[in-house]
Amino acid sequence: MLRRHASTRVLRRPPAAIAAPPQTTYIAPRNKGAAMNASTIPFRKMNGLGNDFVVLDARARDIPMNGNIARAIGDRDKGVGCDQVIVIRPGGQVDASMEIRNRDGSRVNACGNATRCIGDLLMSESGKDAVTIRTGAGLLIARRRGDGLIEVDMGAPKFDWRDIPLAEEFRDTRGIELQAGPIDNPTLHTPAVVNVGNPHAVFWVDDVEAIKLHIMGPLLENHPIFPEGANISICKVMDEGHLLLRVWERGAGLTRACGTAACAAAVCAARKKLTGRKVRVTLPGGDLFIHWREDDDHIMMAGPVEYEFEGELPAEMFEG
């Protein structure tokens, strides 16, 4: 047992214990009759391109969740550590529902990388090639592609200023009046804005490494123009089929990957005719493949999923 904090101790199994394919190590599958320890709650640690999650399965056993619990779990010093905490809940008429909490405790409507991870878990459990997941942004469908990548239909982007939302009207959201840095020579300016399950602002730059995103990100995330905050991305167009992206994620900070930000950058670049509707988006954690379909305007996002380890959390941390 590894003790990180009295209230957030984590019981970890060694990596060799979970080296088998994911379908043989799924934690607490529904309707399998597996006995559960009343004093602990199992979790799985997963990531999509380094965007990492603590996944809890609340389909067979209710697991309370709130901001304090999510912060305790997400704390990288005293908890398990993650960008988001994901709770799988019964889905009713669909395969499952997904509750998403940032590591600061705030709720999130959509997370593309998390949807790919949960989709892979559900498909491994059921043997299906596609599953439907209920999120705060609506129903999302995950599929296993022939190349082994997990693809998610993220739905259609929203470009109207009221849907993003913005605090004031901008008729053309391909570039709004917003800047950071010296007034006569701003470091960042004129971002494209869009809602892909959550608000995004995409700034176009010549060098993504030259921007101090750890400084600019939190200032822009909480700018008054974004009444619900925003994910802040800096993007370089490499060519008509390739984008380079770094992201400050709302409620999580700098992240190695953000699926909805990759979708946002792709559709905003295509809208400005900087790229086509199929692009590879390179983030610090690796590549995501985005296709903004013309027939229905839905965004298809594909990428890999990684299983890190599994363990248990004390049940008392979910009380009160």
Catalytic residue among 111, 117, 235, 268: 111
- Calculate the alpha carbon distances from 90 to 43, 65, 184, 229 in Å: 17, 15, 54, 29
3-class secondary structure, 217? helix
The alpha carbon of residue 191 and the mean position of all alpha carbons in its chain are separated, in whole angstroms, by 21
Which residue, among 32, 10, 76, 263, has the nearest Cα to 151 in the 3D structure? 263
Secondary structure (3-state) at 242: strand
Catalytic residue check, 258: yes
**Nearest-10 crossing angle of helices 112-126, 259-271:** 120
Residues contacting 281, CB < 8 A, separation 6+:
242, 243, 245, 262, 265, 266, 287, 288, 289, 290
Active site residue 235: no
**CA distance linking residue 94 with residue 139, whole number of Å:** 9
Helix or strand or coil: residue 173? coil
Tokens at 206, concatenated: 């010549």
Closest CA to 126 of 88, 87, 86, 153: 88
Q: How far is CA 284 from the centre of its chain?
A: 14
Number of H helices, E strands in the chain: 4, 20
Active-site entry in 117, 258, 263, 268? 258
DSSP 8-state symbol, 248: E
How many Å apart are CA 200 and CA 269, to the nearest integer?
A: 13
Copy the structure tokens of residue 47. 């990531």
Element of type H or E holding 300: strand 299-303
Q: Which residues are catalytic?
A: 111, 258
